[in-house]
Amino acid sequence: MVKELICREGDCEGTKKTIPRIPNGLPGPGRCLVVAIAALAIMWALTRNTETKENVIMRRVSIFLAWAIATASTVHAASPFVMSLETAKTGELPQGWTAARTGEGPGSVWKVVADTDGKKVLAQTSDQGPKRLFNLCVAENTSFTDIDLSVAFKAMAGKVDQGGGPVWRYKDANNYYLARMNPLEHNYRVYKVVGGKRTQLASTDLKVAAGQWHTLRVVQKGEHIECYFDGKAYLDAKDDTFKDAGKIGLWTKADAQTYFADLRVSAIDSLP
């Protein structure tokens, strides 16, 4: 691989060296790693035939730089996401978040509000959503594949539907995974939404009172999805519809008015 990166043209032993081409399809961290390896290989090739003190120093410096770039790219890839609302203005969407809909009709009105204790939360506040509308609020600057996600929610109101939950590997308003708790129906479910159509992957009956805070947790590694409620595992499913990274968001259905807080997402190692 190193030889291919160094010698796109000519003989490796000759004097003509070419700059390696970095594959365009690689994500940012992957490109950083390839650049680091390429830089190390080029420096080694240019100095390997002359064992001067300067060349030895240059090779050592190139090794250090390659290690630093590779380490930085790995740290960047694993950076967690935490929803912070401390400086957000009440009555408005927090910066970096966008409201969206799966389906048509009024609804999907998201804003920062204060809970009874004064803590700021992100809420879906509309009671006008029709039965088949999915209310979405998406964190635009997120991109995760394998995740460990947790979010607190409090179902406030809803005659057609109540509760909600997180979405992940979100491609657009018609394609994503979601897990939701519905106190009105007394069930906890995980779905995939493909082309705007929702398909159930797993479900369990669970009685939960509205108006109280609860925590949903989702862990997905590869095609394996595990869903927890208040620290206990309830759902287990496998699906490979969405294999690549996507955004993180929040979801309610129809007229479900729900508070969300303490959203945290961490990338997990995709290797076995």
- Average pLDDT on 180-198 reads 98
Residues 107 and 225 in one domain: yes
Question: Which of 118, 165, 144 is closest to 248 using CA atoms?
Answer: 144
Residue where one domain finishes, among candidates 29, 53, 77: 77
The pLDDT value recorded for residue 38 is 59
Residue where one domain finishes, among candidates 77, 112, 132: 77
Q: Is residue 12's pLDDT more than 60?
A: no
Is position 92 within any domain? yes
Q: In what order do the strands lie in the sheet with 175-182?
A: 97-102, 134-144, 246-253, 165-172, 175-182, 187-194, 197-205
Residues 116 and 214 in one domain: yes
Question: Which of 64, 65, 66, 47 is closest to 56 using CA atoms?
Answer: 47
Residues 259 and 130 in one domain: yes
32: containing domain: 2-77
Task: Report d(CA 215, CA 148) in Å as an integer.
Answer: 13
59's tokens: 């090779």
Q: pLDDT tens digits for 109-143?
A: 999 999 999 999 999 999 999 999 999 999 999 99
Residue where one domain finishes, among candidates 50, 77, 104: 77
Q: Record the pTM.
A: 0.73
Q: pLDDT tens digits for 212-243?
A: 999 999 999 999 999 999 999 999 999 999 99
Q: pLDDT tens digits for 165-187?
A: 999 999 999 999 999 999 999 99
142's tokens: 């997120």
pLDDT more than 90, % of the chain: 69
Residues 71 and 145 in one domain: no
What's the sign of the alpha-carbon dihedral 61, 29, 262, 205? negative
Q: Is residue 48's pLDDT more than 90?
A: no
How many domains is the chain built from? 2
What's the burial of 13, exposed, middle or buried (CB within 10 Å: 0-12/13-18/19+)?
exposed
Is position 272 within any domain? no
Residues 15 and 52 in one domain: yes
End-to-end CA distance of the chain: 25
